[in-house]
């Protein structure tokens, strides 16, 4: 919703200012089909050449999510921390082996079903259970598991960053394709120098529309999308860091109440529940 509102404000103010200055929208509308064909066609072709198929697929999958609000809210983080608390509390009271069934079959686990918000998120469940499984096995110490977690989170970040980087590169190329379209228009104009000034003026104006569109599409459309995509990726990574910090604190001997406090502290302040809010939520879920 905010994406569409932002585009409406940006384009409305830009074209509104043009009209208020006495600009003729028919000049831009007349030039749009051919200029957009040159700019978007060239940019699309270069985009395909510049990215591997897996990045193209990831970009197409990520674009629709930009129109939705963030799923990472205070309520979601409270569910996540409460889930981790219950798992660690069960392991502390009944022993690590008591959570083996929860780890091996999370979709049948009462603990994961209790917190459906995160319990139905495949990536979150997989990340939690993979490292709980290592904790249950007892073959790795906290430093080794931390190193593995860092490597996985780093890999996840790079994979998630690829679509944002691809859109950012596209944004950087669009002004150049606008210049290409404008040069083609100038070449066409130079071949018609014998025409009356009014016709030549219209042809030059159409050529300049290409430069305008290239810059507009770059900085009012593509670049903001890349920035928003990167922010969403950071939120995704923050959730994994929260899980990592909580599990490592538990491995180092801290009680579940303290371990989830470690995890709570790494969250962004805008979405971080207070100690009292988290405590109340955990008690309410018992």
Instruction: Give the mean model confidence (pLDDT) for residues 39-44.
Output: 92
**Among residues 130, 92, 83, 136, which one has the least CA distance to residue 110?**
83
Cα 95 from Cα 248, distance rounded (Å): 17
Cα 54 from Cα 158, distance rounded (Å): 13
Whether 183 maps to a domain, the answer reads yes
Whether 272 maps to a domain, the answer reads yes
Whether 148 maps to a domain, the answer reads yes
pLDDT at 202 over 90: no
For residue 286, give Cα distances in angstroms to 114, 136, 279, 283: 10, 24, 11, 5
Task: Give me the domain span that covers residue 252.
Answer: 30-286
Q: How distant is the alpha carbon of residue 265 from its chain centre?
A: 22
pLDDT at 193 over 70: no
Using one digit for the tens of pLDDT, what is the confidence trace for 127-165? Answer: 999 999 888 877 778 888 899 999 999 999 999 999 999
Cα 35 from Cα 206, distance rounded (Å): 8
Whether 1 maps to a domain, the answer reads no
Domain total of the chain:
1
Using one digit for the tens of pLDDT, what is the confidence trace for 51-73? Answer: 999 999 999 999 998 888 888 88
> Which pLDDT belongs to residue 285?
64
Whether 275 maps to a domain, the answer reads yes
Q: How far apart are the first and last CA of the chain?
A: 37
> Which pLDDT belongs to residue 190?
73
Whether 19 maps to a domain, the answer reads no
> Which pLDDT belongs to residue 281?
77
Whether 97 maps to a domain, the answer reads yes
Whether 15 maps to a domain, the answer reads no
Query: CA torsion sign, 201 to 202 to 205 to 210?
Result: negative
For residues 118 and 227, is the Cβ–Cβ distance under 8 A? no
């Amino acid at each position: 919703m905010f994406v569409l509102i932002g585009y409406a404000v940006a384009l409305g103010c830009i074209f509104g200012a043009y009209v208020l200055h006495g600009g003729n929208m028919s000049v831009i509308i007349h030039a749009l089909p051919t200029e957009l064909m040159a700019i978007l066609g060239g940019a699309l072709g270069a985009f395909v050449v510049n990215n591997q198929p897996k990045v193209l697929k990831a970009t197409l999958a990520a674009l629709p999510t930009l129109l939705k609000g963030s799923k990472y809210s205070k309520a979601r983080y409270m569910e996540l921390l409460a889930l981790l608390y219950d798992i660690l509390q069960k392991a502390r009271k009944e022993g690590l082996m008591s959570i083996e069934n929860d780890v091996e079959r999370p979709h049948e686990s009462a603990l994961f079903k209790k917190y459906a918000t995160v319990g139905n998120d495949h990536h979150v469940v997989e990340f939690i259970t993979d490292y709980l499984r290592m904790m249950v096995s007892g073959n790795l110490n906290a430093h080794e598991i931390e190193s593995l977690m860092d490597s996985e989170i780093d890999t996840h970040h790079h994979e998630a960053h690829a679509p944002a980087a691809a859109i950012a590169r596209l944004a950087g190329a669009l002004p150049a394709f606008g210049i290409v379209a404008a040069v083609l228009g100038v070449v066409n104009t130079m071949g018609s120098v014998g025409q009356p000034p009014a016709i030549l003026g219209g042809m030059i104006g159409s050529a300049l529309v290409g430069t305008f569109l290239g810059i507009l599409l770059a900085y009012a459309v593509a670049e903001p999308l890349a920035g928003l995509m990167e922010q969403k990726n950071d939120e995704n990574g923050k959730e994994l860091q929260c899980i990592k910090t909580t599990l490592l604190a538990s491995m180092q001997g801290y009680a579940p109440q303290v371990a989830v406090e470690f995890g709570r502290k790494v969250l962004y302040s805008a979405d971080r529940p207070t100690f009292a809010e988290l405590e109340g939520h955990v008690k309410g879920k018992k």
